[in-house]
Chains A and B, each alone.
Chain A
């Protein structure tokens, strides 16, 4: 059961990097890929249906951390205090950019929230890089290795975001396989620390009475979770590429 919950935790975290990495990447590249307001709207509209289904993976990571590794939850989050605060503020600012950007039409309003979306996305990628490096090193939150690692995370998310934008735009050579490749690449920066930290995580797993309850209650939810995620990709993946959706203004 310990291994099962380590697996669930790892899967959720890797899923977050693979499925939310491109949203963060597009946010970072918004000023570069979207020179005009129409281009930016098209980019955001392309990622919009996936954001809500993507960012919840991290909410679930935090929940499983609390439920299955309760002693690590306090210890780890507190050890990374400034980074966790930075990550949360970045996350909120990024999401506010998405939710608010199309609520008013003014130029300044749009520019401000597009800026928030971009800055928040950078904040997310950078704090993740610093946090993962600090966890592996078991040391201070700001080190040269951490800065380098943050740059790596920014890089892979940017590649993933670019691939996703190209896949949404359609055209030859922009296959789902290429997107899957960049998803795998985006997951590497978190998969490596997970492998390194696996024995340490197993040392801190919750007692079997707690894990038994979690397994019993959550196992029936797993098929529904998977089905809901698959539904999102079926509903907004293929058909959207035909351009049918283009005449409908996106909510984000």
Chain B
């Protein structure tokens, strides 16, 4: 592999890893927020335990989304300085807005949510998880604004040797953005729901003692999956029109793109069919929770949305090669001049080894959390009353 191949492979590996974790973050955040809202409204302890348990899985997953995201953000400068030289005046703006206006707030509110259990007033603590959800969605929006600009450089003009921003509105109404955003958010919701369905099925199959907990969770998962699959598949097909106009021939001629697209559509259609006509009707009298033979099938379904998400990413990004900014700048010309095989190999090995290892550990920790069940969740652990520690509180 030459330097260009290595730089592309490095970005692909970090990008795919990032997407695997982020797609689950996007789906679990609103589901946890809804569950916690039900607790605050009804006061039922089961909803609080559900928010803590699924929240812990959300938080463990979140960590890897951040690690991979950091490496992604800085990689633009490390490997692709030609992109910022040519298109930075346009492409940099949505990324700057994403970091300051979305991720900055998301991370701050998440810290308040994680460490504020039992410490913040109940409604304010609930507001934190909703703000985390809102800013996570905002984050997805701005990242897709940036990505859509690369797919279709709307709102910019060539001046001399680089692009300048002429119409910010065109950046936000980019035809490659408007259907892609709900598609991705729907896919996220389907992913988060699948994890809840798979984990609940596992616990019910093992004849868990926490039956009510996982029957309720299974219902949340199926309803989430119903909304998620319909939105993801609907807006997935809706993209063919605009993409065909700005990137004609995107899906033709490339084996990887064609195969990925085919399999993604297959997964999507099977998911819609299965959720709409099998899982949702079986919520009647909790048949789905009672029919133990079906639970292994639900567990096997869990990886499907992750696979579909990666296939979708491959279609969108490989389908526009060799362009980094479609029709304007090639990936080759965007590579940092002076990048040597030694540099890219060393950083590739370092990033891949560290992030790959941490990703495996993270999934093992999530699986372990699922296996040990809600009783072992440490997030928001109310702890044991300790007279020595609580005494000073009375003096406040």
Contacts and interface: CB of A to CB of B under 8 A. Distances in A.
Interface of A: 48-53, 55-57, 59-60, 62-64, 66-68, 70-71, 73-78, 81-82, 84-85, 88-89, 91-93, 95-96, 99-100, 102-104, 206-207, 209-210, 213-214, 217-218, 221, 224-225, 228-229, 231-232, 235-236, 239, 242-251
Nearest to A8: B100
B71 interface: yes
B385 A247 contact: yes
Interface string B356-396: 00100100010010000000001101111110011011001
A104 B339 CA distance: 41
Given A59-B99, A249-B383, 6 more contacts: A64-B96, A66-B77, A71-B84, A104-B368, A206-B92, A251-B379
Binding site secondary structure of chain B: helix
Interface stretch (B37-45, B107-115, B181-189, B259-267): B107-115
A13 B358 CA distance: 28
A85 B336 contact: no
B92 to A, nearest CB: 4
B78 A85 contact: yes
A213 B105 CA distance: 20
Nearest to A51: B111
Given A85-B78, A246-B386, A214 B96 contact: yes
B61 to A, nearest CB: 11
B118 interface: yes
A209 B77 contact: no
Given A85-B350, A89-B354, A78 B67 contact: no
Given A67-B92, A99-B60, A235 B116 contact: yes
A66 B166 CA distance: 18
Given A85-B78, A95-B63, A242 B396 contact: yes
B119 A239 contact: yes
Contact of A84 (B59, B77, B89, B393): B77
A102 B114 CA distance: 14
A69 B380 CA distance: 41
Contacts of B105: 221, 224-225, 228
A221 B66 CA distance: 21
B338 interface: yes
Given A67-B95, A88-B70, A213 B111 contact: no
Given A85-B347, A221-B101, A239-B119, A74 B365 contact: no
A92 B354 contact: yes
B92 A70 contact: yes
Contacts of B60: 99, 103
B164 A207 contact: yes
Contacts of A248: 117-119, 381-383
Given A53-B111, A213-B168, A235-B112, A64 B71 contact: no
Contacts of B268: none
A92 to B, nearest CB: 5
Contacts of B101: 217-218, 221
A205 to B, nearest CB: 10
B96 A66 contact: yes
B389 A246 contact: yes
Contacts of A103: 60, 365
Contact of A218 (B89, B90, B100, B355): B100
B374 to A, nearest CB: 16
B293 interface: no
7 contacts: A59-B73, A81-B343, A85-B351, A96-B63, A99-B60, A206-B88, A246-B389
Contacts of A249: 378, 381, 383
Nearest to B167: A209
B191 to A, nearest CB: 21
Interface in B54-89: 59-60, 63, 66-67, 70-71, 73-74, 76-78, 80-85, 88-89
Contacts of A224: 105
Contacts of A232: 108, 111-112
Contacts of A55: 107
Nearest to B346: A85
B88 A73 contact: yes
Nearest to A251: B114
Contact of B115 (A84, A225, A236, A247): A236
Contacts of B256: none
A239 B339 CA distance: 51
B97 to A, nearest CB: 5
Nearest to A68: B96
A4 to B, nearest CB: 13
